[in-house]
Amino acid sequence: MAEPQPPAAAGEAAGDGAAGSAAAAEAAGAAAEGAGGGGEEDGFIDAGDVTYTPYRPAKVRIGKPPPDPVVENTSLAAVPPPDVTYESHLPPSSLEQLSEVQMESVMYAGQQFSKPHLKNGERAGFMIGDGAGVGKGRQLAGIIMDAWMQGHKRHIWFSISPDLLHDTKRDLKDIKPGKKNRPKVYNLSDLAYDDNLSVGDGVIFCTYKSLTLVSESTSGHGTVARLGQLTRWLGGRDAEGCIVFDEAHKAKNLYLASKPTLTGKKVKEIQDRCPNARVVYCSATPCSEPMNMGYMTRLGLWGDGTRFEDFPDFLKDIDERGVGAMELVAMQLKAEGMLLSRSLSFQGCEFSLVPLVNSKFQIDSYNAAVKTWQLLWQVLNDAVGEDTLYTLVEPASEEEKAEKDHPAAPHVDTSARPRVVRCRFVLGAVCIEHRAHANRNQP
């Protein structure tokens, strides 16, 4: 891996101004073309290597028209979805808040959950693969509310960040189920490590990181795992509420070449412990690589009743056949009503280049900042040594990134603590050296 270097000053970094501007223009033009700036012919929108088709739900006419044009990958558009036999349980007030594209997901998810269970005894799941802007949060809220109105009052919403708790509450509120019907949302981080969670019906918001945590019981009965708490609260093998995995790709590293990440293992385990739960996978990149699909056990692609004994067997077969095989898998999932994947159209978008000429003040400010960082770099190097310095600032490798959520103990990231202590020492040394340097320059 190349060694990191301190930043260069403005003149050194920019090089020849005309050449830099030309390169920037070329890169921006390529980005515009790849983002959907290509032409449109015979109803197809060319977006670089992928062709899209204008989209409208084929079998669902419930809900409002979407406010913006929606498209679908042309290979998926060639496959019609199954007929809809499911009847929504959402109140009329909610139907008025969802577009027909969003309602399509609610209907097909409900239809999946109503089917006979898979051969392994688990309830079939559903996948939302929509791009940004289609409204995945509202779709998840609609799916939860549809189950809520059928009497299933306990649900879990997984997401990648505690900051998204507000978005979850907003989505459940925005579909306007009525105050009497709106489920209460609990933040798992606010609940104690007791054997059983001390909350009633509602939706528990939980990050993927929290799912892996273990801590001492507040009642003094040994250790308590969040996974166990959530499983017992939801109902275990009798649970029929929803488990929605928002940004589900967080669990993609279940089948690494070395060892699975803890997040991937726990995501699979909670599905195994609650075989009757209504599982929804939601991600804009759900099937980017076959290896990333290992946690999607509710799609019925491998195991009992299929031609593949297990996921490694499925992965080997798909990998040998390449990208075409993955497209066929996606087409099969749509044909069975298990997958919907739509995107907002870039049709009509315009891209223009606006040259930015930096003022002398901006250039001087940048160069002053670079000199400061070069000083910090030298002081850090003198304080801890070159090898340690590179350890502190070198970007994590792909393997380290994959193992980031697999600490030595479920609740303590022991590998991070020495670096924190070392960084504090280094920063203190920088401050001392900076003050000494300033004092030497004073008259």
CB-count exposure of residue 219 (10 Å: 0-12, 13-18, 19+): exposed
Torsion, Cα of 377, 380, 381, 382 (10° steps): 130
Q: Residues 6 or more apart from 291 whose CB is under 8 A from it? A: 252, 255, 315, 319
Q: How far apart are CA 177 and CA 411, in angstroms?
A: 37
Q: What is the pLDDT of residues 279-313, one digit of tens each?
A: 999 999 877 788 889 999 999 999 998 999 999 99
CA distance 197 to 274: 17
Distance CA 342, CA 72 (A): 5
Residue found under tokens 């996978």? 281
Distances (CA, A) of 238 to 123, 149, 274, 278: 11, 18, 7, 11
Query: Over 80: is that where the pLDDT of 408 sits?
Result: no
pLDDT confidence bin for 342, thresholds 50/70/90: very high
Q: Which residue has the higher pLDDT, 4 or 109?
A: 109
The strand pairing partners of 157, in sequence order, are: 205, 244
Going along the chain from its start, the domains and CATH numbers come out as 10-26+358-440 (no CATH), 42-344 (3.40.50.10810)
* Model confidence at 262: pLDDT above 80: yes
CA nearest to 281, candidates 101, 125, 113? 125
The tokens for 424 are: 């504090």
User: Does position 358 have pLDDT exceeding 70, yes or no?
Assistant: yes
Long-range contacts, stretch 167-174, CB < 8 angstroms, 24+ apart: 167/137, 168/137, 168/141, 168/203, 168/205, 170/137, 171/137, 171/138, 171/140, 171/141, 172/141, 172/144, 172/145, 172/203, 174/97, 174/138, 174/141
Phi then psi dihedrals of residue 245, to 5 deg: -105, 90
User: Looking at residue 387, what is its pLDDT?
Assistant: 59
Residue 17: its pLDDT value, please? Answer: 42
Q: Are 356 and 101 in contact (CB under 8 A)?
A: no
pLDDT of residue 434 exceeding 90, the answer is no
pLDDT-based confidence at residue 26 (cuts at 50, 70, 90): very low
For residue 65, pLDDT over 50 is answered with yes
Q: Which residue has the higher pLDDT, 57 or 422?
A: 57
Nearest to 159 by CA among 126, 196, 187: 187
**What's the CA gap between 138 and 168, in Å, rounded?**
9
Banded model confidence at residue 111, pLDDT cuts 50, 70, 90: very high
Lowest mean per-residue pLDDT among 220-224, 321-325, 350-354, 383-387: 383-387
Q: In angstroms, rounded to a whole number, what is the distance separating the alpha carbons of residues 263 and 253? A: 8
Q: Mean pLDDT for the chain?
A: 82
Identify the pLDDT of residue 9.
55
Residue matched to tokens 């559903």: 126
In the prediction, which pLDDT does 62 show? 94
**pLDDT per position as a tens digit, 161-220:** 999 999 999 999 999 998 888 999 999 999 999 989 999 999 999 999 999 999 988 877
Residue 95 has pLDDT above 90, yes or no: yes
Three-state SS at 64: strand
pLDDT at 34: 39
The structure's pTM equals 0.72
Dist. CA 260–CA 389, nearest whole Å = 30
Please, where are the H alpha helices in 216-342? 226-234, 262-273, 311-321, 323-335
Question: For the residues 96-109, what does the mean pLDDT come to?
Answer: 97
Whether residue 337 is predicted with pLDDT greater than 90 in this model: the reply is yes
Cα(427)–Cα(431) distance, integer angstroms: 6
Res 428: pLDDT: 52
Phi, psi of 209 (to 5 degrees): -65, -40
Q: Hey, what are 47's tokens? A: 């977006």
